[in-house]
Amino acid sequence: MLPDRDAADDVAEEAVQRFGLAEEPQLVREALAGEDDAEDAQWLVVVEDPRGALDTEALRALAEEYDGWLEAE
Q: Please give the residue that has the higher pLDDT: either 1 or 37.
A: 1
pLDDT at 37: 56
CA distances from 69 to 15, 22, 36, 40, 57 (A): 14, 23, 22, 17, 11
pLDDT at 36: 58
> What digits encode the pLDDT tens for the residues 56-69?
999 999 999 999 99
Structural contact between residues 42 and 63, judged by C-beta atoms closer than 8 angstroms: no
Q: Average pLDDT of 50-57?
A: 92
**Backbone φ/ψ region at 9: left (φ over 0), alpha (ψ -120 to 50), beta:** alpha
Domains in the chain: boundaries: 5-65
Structural contact between residues 27 and 9, judged by C-beta atoms closer than 8 angstroms: yes
pLDDT at 72: 79
> What digits encode the pLDDT tens for the residues 21-46?
999 999 999 876 665 555 568 999 99
